[in-house]
Amino acid sequence: MHWLSRIRRLLLLGLLLPTLALAGAEAEKVLYHLDSDDPGKQREALRMMQNHINAVKPDQLDLVVVLNGNGISLLLEQDALSRRSSTGRANADQVVTAQVDNLRGQGVRFLVCQASMQARHVQRERDLYHVDKQQLVENGMLAMVHLQQQGYAYLKP
């Protein structure tokens, strides 16, 4: 083989390899939207997330869940119902919180819509299961738009 073409190949390879490595390191970005308070639907959504994580290599998935509307009931503690003036479901029982903890342990972030909380008289520390300030978004819909603009694929279980 001619030495020039060999050098060209090496150069090409040198250019390609880091690109491939970078592409391989880039985590898949996914956004799950949850706005239902149906416990069955919520269980199914959590199961989908775990299956999704299982389907890709570790650290290859950047999974964000946005809870808005009635979906915030996923993290609403059960004794919060008696404290709130509005009615609705509170689904953060032992089974759900264990699943949420498990997903969080695998890097899943649960973001909660503040507008939906206000409409339901929900207070973060008092009513929600382990949600810190950084996991609150002013408006869930706006957050989902911004996430999509940053390359997150939208999934609604």
Partner 1 sequence: MRHNDELDINAYVDGELTPEERLEFLEAMRDNPELSREACELTNLKSQLQLAYANPPGLSAGATARKRSPWGAIAAGTVLLTTGLLGGWVLGTAPNHSERFVMLDAEGRGQAPATAESPETRIVVHLTNPNQAVAGELLDDVEHMLRAYQRDGQPLRVEIVSHGDGLDLLRTRLSEHQERIGKLSQAFGNLTFVACKNTIDRVEVSQGIEVNIIPEAQITGSGVNHVAKRQKEGWSYIRV
Residues that bind partner 1 (CB under 8 A): 33, 35, 62, 64, 68-70, 109, 111, 115-116, 119, 134-135, 137-150, 154, 156
Closest distance between partner 1 and the C-beta of residue 71, in Å? 11
Nearer to partner 1, 13 or 148 (CB): 148
Least Å distance between CB 9 and partner 1?
Answer: 35
Pick the closer one to partner 1 by CB: 16 or 27.
27
Tell me the backbone φ, ψ of residue 120, rounded to 5 degrees: -110, 15
CB of 33 to partner 1, least distance (A): 7
Closest CB 144 distance from partner 1, rounded Å: 6
Q: What is the largest CA-CA distance in the chain?
A: 81
102 vs 139 by CB, closer to partner 1: 139
Sheet (strand 136-137) strand order: 136-137, 109-113, 61-67, 28-34, 153-155
Q: Is 8 or 57 the residue whose CB approaches partner 1 more closely? A: 57
Shortest reach from residue 29's CB to partner 1, in Å: 9
Other CB atoms within 10 A of residue 16 CB: 10
CA distance 116 to 140: 8
Pick 19 or 150: Cβ nearer partner 1:
150
Cα 63 to Cα 30: distance, rounded to the nearest angstrom: 5
Determine the distance from the C-alpha atom of residue 44 to the mean position of all C-alpha atoms in its chain, rounded to a whole number: 15
- The neighbour count for residue 44, using CB atoms within 10 Å, is 13
